[in-house]
Amino acid sequence: MNKFAGKTALVTGASSGIGESISRQLAEKHCNLILVARRGDKLEALKYELEAQYDITVSTISHDLATLEAGKSLHQKTKALGLDVDILINNAGYAKHGAFHLTPLDTHLDMMHLLTTTLTELTYLYSEDMKQLGGGYILLVASIAGFMPIPQFATYAASKAFVLSLGESLNKELSEFNINVTTLCPGGTATEFMDVSGQNITGFRRHAIMTSDAVAHAGIRAVSKGKAVIVPGLLYKFSMAGLRAVPRGLQAMIGEAATK
């Protein structure tokens, strides 16, 4: 059954990668969209394409989500436009690969703000609204990086561990309000993320890279089934299950080797 037809989804980071794929797949399910990212031109192009293809309404909001109280101001903007959000897709994010001290402190703080503070603000504010609406769906995009410590990706992995823990807790806490919280933990995915993060994936690891469409499909399916956590792809699913039995020190070595 298509649970998303006629609903409205707010997708952060909709201008590329996983967020763009999620937006396209929700549009196909006749879900109205509010597309959010900094690159307004990309959002506008996607809006016109999707509105021409499907009988839906698409709004765009160009917004920097790494700034102070960015979540609050985005929430105010959607209120001012009279838009109710039934589905919140907290997806915007980036990473910087490199030694802790060779990465500027401001970069760590900016990334952590986007990945954790703004994500929490948006989750808090829109889930309050969802309580009034009688329910809703929230997808938090974490990462397999949330399952282990990763030297050279330290603050990114720590931020994603925060998202995973938050998602699992809220899945239990908000279910009594008919709000379903799902946490999506992708492994390597072919998006702009790889260039932005400065990773250089070579050799056999290239075969483990998934498409953003496959990751988005797994995420949307998990949301519609009410799953708490989803790791897309069999290779990553089994690897994360096996990782639980491995001591944390060894996990850190595996994490570092896998993300170089």
Ligand X SMILES: NC(=O)c1ccc[n+]([C@@H]2O[C@H](COP(=O)([O-])OP(=O)(O)OC[C@H]3O[C@@H](n4cnc5c(N)ncnc54)[C@H](OP(=O)(O)O)[C@@H]3O)[C@@H](O)[C@H]2O)c1
| Residue of 6, 39, 45, 257 that binds ligand X (CB under 6 A) | 39
Q: Which is nearer to ligand X, 40 or 151 (CB)?
A: 40
Q: Alpha-carbon dihedral of residues 223, 226, 227, 233, nearest 10 degrees?
A: -40
| From candidates 65, 218, 223, 231, binder to ligand X by CB under 6 A | 65
User: Contact, 120 vs 163, CB < 8 A?
Assistant: no
- The residue within the footprint of ligand X, chosen from 193, 222, 258, 259 (CB under 6 A), is 193
Is 167 among the residues that bind ligand X (CB under 6 A)?
no
Q: Which two tokens stand for residue 131?
A: 């309580």
Q: Which residue has the tokens 């986007």?
A: 114
- Nearest Cα residue to 133 out of 88, 73, 91: 88
Q: Hey, which residues between 105 and 144 contact ligand X (CB under 6 A)?
A: 114, 141, 143
- Residue 173 vs 192, nearer CB to ligand X: 192
- Between 16 and 175, CB nearer to ligand X: 16
Q: Distance (Å, rounded) from C-alpha 218 to C-alpha 172?
A: 21
Q: If binding is defined by CB under 6 A, does position 91 make contact with ligand X?
A: yes
**Is there a catalytic annotation at residue 126?**
no
Exposure of 250 in the CB half-sphere (CA atoms within 13 A): 6
Q: Is 150 in the site for ligand X (CB under 6 A)?
A: no
Nearest to ligand X of 1, 205 (CB atom)? 205
Pick one of 9, 10, 18, 58: the residue that binds ligand X (CB under 6 A): 18
Sheet with 229-230, side-by-side order of all strands: 58-62, 32-37, 8-12, 87-90, 136-141, 179-184, 229-230
DSSP H helices, 11-134, are 17-28, 40-53, 70-80, 105-112, 119-133
Catalytic positions, written as ranges: 156
The footprint of ligand X (CB under 6 A) covers 13-19, 37-39, 64-66, 91-95, 114, 141, 143, 186, 188-189, 191-193, 196, 212
